[in-house]
A and B are shown apart, each in its own frame.
Chain A
Amino acid sequence: MITLKQLASREEWFSSGHTLCPGCSIPVILKLVLGASRNPLVISNATGCLQMGSTLFPHTAWKSNWIHTGYGNASATMSGVTAVYRSLKKKGRLMDEKERKFLVIGGDGSTYDSGISSISGYMERGEDIVYLCYDNQSMAHSGGQASSATPVGASTTTTPAGTVLPGKLQTRKNITAIIAAHRIPYVAQSAPWNWNDLLRKAEKAFETKGPAYLNVLSPCPTHWNTDTDKSIELSRLAADTCVWPMFEIRGGTKITVNYKPRHKLPVSEWLKSQDRFRHLLEKENKWIVDKIQEEIDQNWDFLLSAQNEEETK
């Protein structure tokens, strides 16, 4: 197992000087995911916070080959890159024989919503590409609008909590399960607080032949309205409240839960930590909190039971 000191001695693939907001979790996620690859990377990045914040011309924070084309098509772009890679390899026309790894990065908007068809497409075709979703649960770069990753009850600029409506009415899309339904070799959910978990999962994803998917919670101080120093702490709280379970699914069915909180905290702890949920703590909205808790409990129980079944078989 690699230590942080060893990781620090490796080359950094994402430099300082980017223009992401103070306290943004994305660079932390990148440090761990990019650091996990021992091969040269080619990266396709969807439009969003990361892409905008890392490539203000003429500067780039990227130290590996990197392309951005559009919002919902980052993985389709990568499908073209890998097709050429396969083709040139077959024809013996690659510049060098060193194995490359291919990584697509998108936020939740370009993953859960507009990019889902091209993600699903490459997974169906079994292309050897790792997909990383940094999930800040909103369309952060365009101003914090709701995405289908936004949790129920959250107040966003397009689902504001008002006198009649209590924020977003719909439950967030369970993207990890949708991806797992493709029966791809490796799917995992993680969060940056557990650097070891994320690093290990990224290593596994890169080692996997064929599609692999990482869904990583990315607390966003700007749109969650939280203190900038709390981003990592919040990702820990998400795991301790089971709002964001840390698990992996191999081959579409074999579920392993990687972190079980010693004391599972009530979701109200999570809700009161962020301004976007503040209105839920009012009396008339208690039914929403109860509903959220119920959904979390169901999901958590399902994960534990699915895992146990597998272990007993």
Chain B
Amino acid sequence: MSHEAWNELKPGTIIEDPGSASNHFTGHYRKGLKPEFNELNCIHCFFCWVFCPENAIMTEAEKISGINYDYCKGCGICANECPVENKPKPLIMIKEVI
């Protein structure tokens, strides 16, 4: 990617592209663990969604639909906060080969 020259920048360091950080992927922050989602036992409580610092829990029609690994930093909060008990959790942390 070529960066702008000084005379191409807008005066005053402004950025006019709201939310453009989403062009910057953060999946490489993961250090060997990633969450795996299995819809089978999901109760769609959305706790994983609200507690995910990366907005990496994807939703569709009021349901959890998966994980966006472009952004997921592998912190594991989603799996830790998943309240499903007495049956296999829909969110678990698994080894990721980098």
Residues of A within 8 A of B (CB): 3-5, 7-9, 12, 14-28, 31-32, 54-64, 192, 195, 221, 227-233
Contacts and interface: CB of A to CB of B under 8 A. Distances in A.
A227 B50 contact: no
Contact of A228 (B24, B59, B77): B77
Contacts of B74: 22, 228
A57 B15 contact: yes
A59 B76 contact: no
Nearest to B24: A17
A59 B53 contact: no
A272 B10 CA distance: 50
Q: How large is the interface on B (under 10, 10 to 19, 20 to 34, 35 or more residues)?
A: 35 or more
Given A16-B22, A17-B25, A229-B76, A4 B71 contact: no
Contacts of B93: 229
Nearest to A198: B50
B49 to A, nearest CB: 6
A233 B24 contact: no
Contact of A192 (B15, B23, B51): B51
Given A58-B17, A60-B15, A229 B55 contact: no
Interface of B: 4, 13, 15, 17-26, 29-30, 44-47, 49-56, 59, 62, 68, 70-71, 73-77, 79-81, 93
A60 B20 CA distance: 5
B50 A25 contact: no
A232 B81 contact: yes
Given A15-B21, A54-B21, A20 B53 contact: yes
Nearest to A13: B19
Nearest to A232: B51
A63 B80 contact: no
A31 B50 contact: yes
Nearest to B26: A17
B75 A16 contact: no
Nearest to A231: B77
Contacts of A25: 53
Contacts of A221: 75
18 contacts: A16-B56, A16-B71, A19-B26, A23-B53, A23-B73, A26-B53, A57-B13, A58-B4, A58-B15, A59-B20, A59-B24, A61-B21, A228-B74, A228-B75, A229-B75, A229-B77, A229-B93, A233-B81
Contacts of B25: 17
Nearest to B71: A16
B50 A32 contact: yes
Contacts of B50: 4, 7-8, 28, 31-32, 195
Contacts of B17: 58-60
Contacts of A24: 53
B68 A16 contact: yes
- Most chain B C-beta atoms within 10 Å of own C-beta, residue among A9, A21, A64, A228: A228
B22 A17 contact: yes
A16 B55 contact: yes
A59 B18 CA distance: 8
A207 B68 CA distance: 34
A233 B53 CA distance: 14
B51 A28 contact: yes
A230 B80 CA distance: 7
A203 B52 CA distance: 21
B21 A18 contact: yes
A60 B45 contact: no
